[in-house]
Structure 1
Amino acid sequence: MRNDMPPRIAVVGGGLAGLTLALALHRAGLACQVYEQAPQLGEVGAGIQLAPSATRLLHRLGLEPPLRSLAVEPVGMEFRRWADSSVISRGLLGAHCEQRYGAPYYALHRADLHRVLVEALPAGTIRLDARCVDFREGPEGVVLRFADGTEAAADVAVGADGIHSVLRQSLVADRPRAFGQSVYRGLVDGRRVPELVAEPRVLLWLGPGRHFVCYPVSGGRLVNFVATVPTSGSTDESWSRRGRVEDVIAAYERWCADVTSVIGAADKVSLWALHDRAPVERWSTGRITLLGDSAHPMLPFLGQGANQAVEDAVALAGCLRDAGSRTLPAALERYESMRRPRTTEVQERSRGNSTAFHLPDGEAQRERDARMGALAPDGPDWLYGYDVEGALAGRQST
């Protein structure tokens, strides 16, 4: 690459992480090509939660109008007991959250966010049916090879292709590890559970060996729920694997009516076996780096997978934009050194919640409930108040 030419940037993966990076690069004046293995666009999955650390960045990328129209802004978050639905702790969201952190807390459907990102990108940014199967890295760049035999050259390649990232294989000698829990995901017509839509909240019921989460999405037309269960049998990681509603009902049969009524209103569910990887010491080389689940796949017990991917994307775009006379390898090194401490902490706290959320009734459970009940009714400042662009500018620690 000549010094006076913008870098050729290849993004492998057209999910939320890759598309957010593409938009952040575009807004920074840098073009990229996104290579997506699917033959057509369409994000799978169900609901996601976006905290202020991510929504402030998406707003700055120009997405505030469509997100305001599509997302639900929950007024609060509540943790409850599994057997009687008594409240363990409450946290304030809604207007209080936006006033405190300068950005809202959203609950929305993944497909809605995916569509908003696609529509914001210049035509031709995404190449479909392009499954990356191999690559060659040299001192001046990377050549990607695809399943159809074609190749593409770039000065920088970014792996945004999830927990099984092809690019990650050259950086880290590890494999996804099964966690021993699976999650059922479902969407319920909001008219069947109107009490969950009238005053929208993120609700979490904690119980022995499992927990249940629900919140409205798609402007309140749907209610998303996630139900964890101990894994037995298949360890299929697919988000789209069909589950059986009757199995979820059986797994939660002794739980309170608030939970069982949501499950009973579902027509279908998907089943996803949880996997993650341990935090690593390195996810970049001279011309390759990773972001989102490719770099730090997270268990869903802190609701931070999408949020950390958005933060990664804006941080990487900013490092590449600011490279100037720096070499591209230095820009990737800056990005990694900035992001890795924070994502490692989030990974570890997510894994820790898997124990705290699933305690059997008893002394440890009562101590947990007392600790949670004593917390201030605000979101965690270290998580919600973080501004990755402030960190880039040196105004905030990482």
Structure 2
Amino acid sequence: MPARPHGPRIAIIGGGIGGLAAAAFLRRAGLNATVHEQAPALSEVGAGLVVAPNAVRLLRRLGVMKAFLRRAVALEWGWEFRRWADGGVLSVEALTDVCEQLYGERTYVIHRSDLLDAVRSAVPGAWIRLGERCTSVEAGPDDVSLSFADGSRTEADVVIGADGVHSVVRSGLAARPSPGYSGVCAFRTLVPAHAAPEFALRPAQTIWLGPGRHFVHYPIAGGSAVNVVAFAPAGDYTEESWSATAPTEEFRAEFADWDPRVTDLIVAGGVPGRWALLDRSPLRHWSRGRVTLLGDAAHPMFPFFAQGAAQSIEDAAVLARCLAASPDDPEQALKRYESARIPRTTRLQEISHARRDANHLPDGPEQETRDTALAASDPLVTAGWIYGHDAEAALTT
């Protein structure tokens, strides 16, 4: 890595949403960085995600909202819970105007690749190096040495591991127990708008709850497709891979007894992806010396609160602020970043695990109590600590 004229030499390992967000916020803070991405092109596998106000306000500060809104869909209803057998509405939250009044921003749904493109628009192309797979990270007394699969090496003053759940950077920081079996796997597919039933095209995040399973859908890609993601018993399936697939019939069989509108969506989609949700305990520390982590590398969480991407964006904003405040003392900056972020991300990891059990209750008294509570609650208000959070403002208080 060539010497930088100002500030520390910062290397970001991973060019996903979190890695590019880190680069974008560092640039906004007046620092420079190099993003090392192992793939030959920047892309996001997977499908849709929810972008709540806590992330939207940070994207707005980056100046990428114009690019973001080209393909994002603003939710008019959110958290529309339905009963598995007949689609009866258990709870629904009107978001139009209300979300913006409470938190200053709306809630959107978007394809992962469209969010990646929006964030990338704030990163200079010269900062991004493709086809560079990091294989090891070695910290020295004054800098950090990075090795890559092609035999090349480089040095940096600060290394940020944004390389996902199977992070190479994290593996070099500390020993960590192997992930545990959660008993849950996820299916995902995309349904073209022309093949989707009308009810699935509404700007709503619809969540069907049933025994041992739940099923989610919402429109993405400017309304041209419907994102479908569902959770079911894993059996002996343990493959944690975004590229693994399953037969459509296997997906459909998991929901065979559900409302026909659910199975119709499954059949209308393409070949589904399938991955196991593995259980990982929160880390007590994710920085050592001049090396740190963000996003899934630091705090992988079950997707039941739809905060994975949002938390990586929050990480990026806070990390950039910390490094800009102490450019000559990166170790202290990383300690400040870690202490600012771990309590919040740990809480989200824990409640995401708890949501799994609540979503999958079998029919009976507990399920009826849950449904009564859903009907009486206002999720937009009760989750205010998530959506109302301003990661940058919280750092200064």
Q: Secondary structure of the equivalent of 1:70? A: coil
Equivalent-residue separation in structure 2 for 1:387 and 1:377 (angstroms): 19
Deviation by residue 1:25-74 (Cα, 9 ceiling, x = unmatched): 11111110011111222211100001100011011101111111210011
Q: Is the 8 A contact 1:37 1:129 kept in 2?
A: yes
2:322 maps to which of 319, 339, 358: 319
Equivalent residue, structure 1, for 2:184:
181
Q: Is residue 225 of structure 2 the alignment partner of residue 222 of structure 1? A: yes
Equivalent-residue separation in structure 1 for 2:12 and 2:300 (angstroms): 18
2:284 maps to which of 250, 257, 281: 281
Equivalent residue, structure 2, for 1:344:
346
Equivalent residue, structure 1, for 2:393:
390
Q: Secondary structure of the equivalent of 1:263? A: helix
Residue identity in the other structure for 1:153: E
Equivalent residue, structure 2, for 1:60:
61
How far off is 1:234 after superposition? 3.5
How far off is 1:334 after superposition? 0.5
Equivalent residue, structure 2, for 1:102:
104
Q: Is the 8 A contact 2:136 2:172 kept in 1?
A: no
Equivalent-residue separation in structure 2 for 1:35 and 1:235 (angstroms): 29
Equivalent residue, structure 2, for 1:150:
152
Q: Is the 8 A contact 1:7 1:155 kept in 2?
A: yes
Equivalent residue, structure 2, for 1:37:
38
Q: Is the 8 A contact 2:4 2:32 kept in 1?
A: no
CA 1:172 to 1:372, structure 2 compared with 1: closer, same or farther past 3 Å?
Answer: farther
Equivalent residue, structure 2, for 1:141:
143
My pick for the range that moved more, 180-189 or 84-93, is 84-93
How far off is 1:118 after superposition? 2.4
Equivalent-residue separation in structure 2 for 1:206 and 1:197 (angstroms): 16
2:310 maps to which of 307, 310, 327: 307
Q: Secondary structure of the equivalent of 1:99? A: helix
Deviation by residue 1:243-291 (Cα, 9 ceiling, x = unmatched): 1111111110110123122112113211111124101111101100100
Deviation by residue 1:320-372 (Cα, 9 ceiling, x = unmatched): 111156x1111101000000000000000000011000000011111111112
Equivalent residue, structure 1, for 2:211:
208
Equivalent-residue separation in structure 1 for 2:179 and 2:379 (angstroms): 36
Alignment gaps of 5+ in structure 1: none
Q: Is the 8 A contact 1:73 1:104 kept in 2?
A: yes
Q: Is the 8 A contact 1:139 1:287 kept in 2?
A: no
Residue identity in the other structure for 2:268: A
TM-score normalised per structure 1: 0.95
Residue identity in the other structure for 1:51: A
How far off is 1:91 after superposition? 1.9
Q: Is the 8 A contact 2:187 2:230 kept in 1?
A: yes
Q: Secondary structure of the equivalent of 1:153? A: strand
Q: Is residue 66 of structure 2 the alignment partner of residue 71 of structure 1? A: no
Equivalent residue, structure 2, for 1:249:
252
Q: Is the 8 A contact 2:188 2:230 kept in 1?
A: yes
Q: Secondary structure of the equivalent of 2:105? A: coil
How far off is 1:199 after superposition? 3.1
Deviation by residue 1:288-314 (Cα, 9 ceiling, x = unmatched): 010000000011111111111110010
How far off is 1:93 after superposition? 2.1
Q: Secondary structure of the equivalent of 2:174? A: coil
Identity %: 48
My pick for the range that moved more, 24-33 or 185-194, is 185-194
Equivalent-residue separation in structure 1 for 2:199 and 2:13 (angstroms): 38
Q: Is residue 11 of structure 2 the alignment partner of residue 10 of structure 1? A: yes
CA 1:22 to 1:3, structure 2 compared with 1: closer, same or farther past 3 Å?
Answer: closer
Q: Is the 8 A contact 1:90 1:377 kept in 2?
A: no
Equivalent-residue separation in structure 2 for 1:264 and 1:194 (angstroms): 12
Q: Is the 8 A contact 1:163 1:276 kept in 2?
A: no
Equivalent-residue separation in structure 1 for 2:200 and 2:101 (angstroms): 23
Equivalent-residue separation in structure 2 for 1:271 and 1:368 (angstroms): 28
How far off is 1:377 after superposition? 5.7
Q: Secondary structure of the equivalent of 1:229? A: strand
Equivalent-residue separation in structure 2 for 1:139 and 1:33 (angstroms): 21
Residue identity in the other structure for 1:314: A
Alignment gaps of 5+ in structure 2: none
Q: Is the 8 A contact 1:182 1:274 kept in 2?
A: yes
Equivalent residue, structure 1, for 2:171:
169
User: When the two structures are aligned, how many residues end up with a matched partner?
Assistant: 392
Residue identity in the other structure for 2:392: E
Equivalent-residue separation in structure 2 for 1:212 and 1:324 (angstroms): 46
CA 1:366 to 1:297, structure 2 compared with 1: closer, same or farther past 3 Å?
Answer: same
My pick for the range that moved more, 218-227 or 97-106, is 97-106
Q: Is residue 20 of structure 2 the alignment partner of residue 19 of structure 1? A: yes
Q: Is the 8 A contact 2:161 2:293 kept in 1?
A: yes
Residue identity in the other structure for 2:394: A
Q: Is residue 74 of structure 2 the alignment partner of residue 83 of structure 1? A: no
TM-score normalised per structure 2: 0.95
Equivalent-residue separation in structure 1 for 2:258 and 2:246 (angstroms): 20
Q: Secondary structure of the equivalent of 1:337? A: helix
Q: Secondary structure of the equivalent of 2:126? A: coil
1:128 maps to which of 127, 130, 148: 130
